[in-house]
Amino acid sequence: MIILAVDPGTRRAGYSVVRSENGRIAVLEVETLVLSAQAPLAHRIHVFKKFFDAKMSEYLVEALALETPFLGKNAQNFLKLGYLRGILLMLSDIHAVPLYEYAPREIKLSVTGYGGADKEQVARVLSTMFPGLIAPRFLDATDALALALCCVWHLSF
């Protein structure tokens, strides 16, 4: 199964593509889509949609994984995140793939054994699990890889 996991953001969106086959996990790609902070929001959303639509076609994605949203301190950011989540929901329907959502604590717990782990701890564990993996520029990408692994492990049970 090929899974695309996305940690959406209006400036940076981490993503990871993994293949799970016969109990083995291969990381096909882990990176961050960087969107121009100066570009209008509508343009960034358009770029986001085109980019992930292309990734789903390129890898013949069979499942899409997202983190469940949580309302932080900024309601405007939460609303903007909702736009991107809507795009991903739409893409899962267009590509006829199931969408799985996991809570942040659940993702951290599955990867590090501790639901309160910070981003750096998650990244360290992933670099130990995949020693040949080049460290991504941003922690958004390692968050997406952790999400992909959480999805693989949940679907395996």
Active site positions, annotated? 7, 67, 140
117 within 8 A of 108, measured Cβ to Cβ: yes
As a whole number of angstroms, the distance between CA 119 and CA 66 comes to 16
| Beta carbons within 8 Å of 105's beta carbon, 6+ residues apart | 115, 116
Q: Output phi, psi for 156, to 5 deg.
A: -80, -20
For the chain, report the end-to-end CA distance as a whole number of angstroms: 14
30 within 8 A of 133, measured Cβ to Cβ: yes
- Given the DSSP bridges, would you call strands 24-34 and 12-21 parallel, antiparallel or unpaired? antiparallel
